[in-house]
A and B are shown apart, each in its own frame.
Chain A
Amino acid sequence: EVQLVESGGGLVQPGGSLRLSCAASGFTFRSYWMHWVRQAPGMGLVWVSRISSDGSTTNYADSVKGRFTISRDNAKNTLYLQMNSLRAEDTAVYYCARVPETTLFDHWGQGTLVTVSS
């Protein structure tokens, strides 16, 4: 069974940093592109970032470019999102998703909540 489990969320002050993790199991993690998508409380989905199966290609939404870094460790079956210079508007539930085809976000984690507040 495919499982994605996010962790690392919490309360952080504006300007602070946080690293999210997404532990994958039940499939060959190194074969899949992975994405991060976030959702502010009561709001819609917003795409954040993606990374290729081997980690060589990454893309970011303009709103996080230069502040967030996506990475992966295929030996540990884990996806990461390093978030720096956090702002109040980064407050959201962050989901990781497996994407075997361009728009087939076929499995999602349960999400981890990041709250940026003083």
Chain B
Amino acid sequence: QSALTQPASVSGSPGQSITISCTGASSDVGGYNHVSWFQQHPGKAPKVMIYDVSKRPSGFSNRFSGSKSGNTASLTISGLQAEDEADYYCSSYTASGTWVFGGGTKVTVL
């Protein structure tokens, strides 16, 4: 199972919005509404920000939103803040009954 494709890096200024893409195939991203997004700060465990394409875990910031079109899912961070600087990973359930992650995107707040 090949990793999902994410841009290596995305940057933005405080207050701006940025979008991270996650491209897979019809056997994973395109075939199921089972895409999640994780935030990981250096030396820390990942934290889920979005699941099932666009759902936010209870109590999580609404500055994070998810969507999907075809084989590509997207994470949008609105009102970018300094604490949003981190690595972000997408993940999808697959037709093989397994999960696959993206290669990760480093978000830099300028």
Contact = CB atoms under 8 A, between A and B. Distances in A.
A59 interface: yes
Interface residues of A, number: 22
A70 to B, nearest CB: 13
Interface string A29-66: 00000010100000011110010000000011110000
A105 B38 contact: yes
A101 B51 contact: yes
A104 B38 contact: no
A103 B104 contact: no
Contact of A44 (B45, B57, B97, B102): B102
A108 B36 contact: no
A106 interface: yes
Contacts, number: 66
B97 A59 contact: yes
B35 interface: yes
A78 interface: no
A46 B4 CA distance: 11
Nearest to B58: A106
A61 B98 contact: yes
A101 B91 contact: no
A68 interface: no
B6 to A, nearest CB: 9
A47 B46 contact: no
Contacts of A50: 99
A105 B102 contact: no
Contact of A111 (B45, B57, B89): B45
B36 A45 contact: no
A105 B97 contact: no
B89 A45 contact: yes
Contact of A45 (B57, B91, B98): B91
A97 B48 CA distance: 11
A50 B96 CA distance: 13
B43 to A, nearest CB: 10
Interface string B36-65: 101010000111100110010100000000
13 contacts: A44-B103, A45-B46, A45-B89, A45-B91, A45-B101, A46-B101, A95-B45, A101-B51, A102-B34, A103-B35, A103-B51, A104-B51, A111-B45
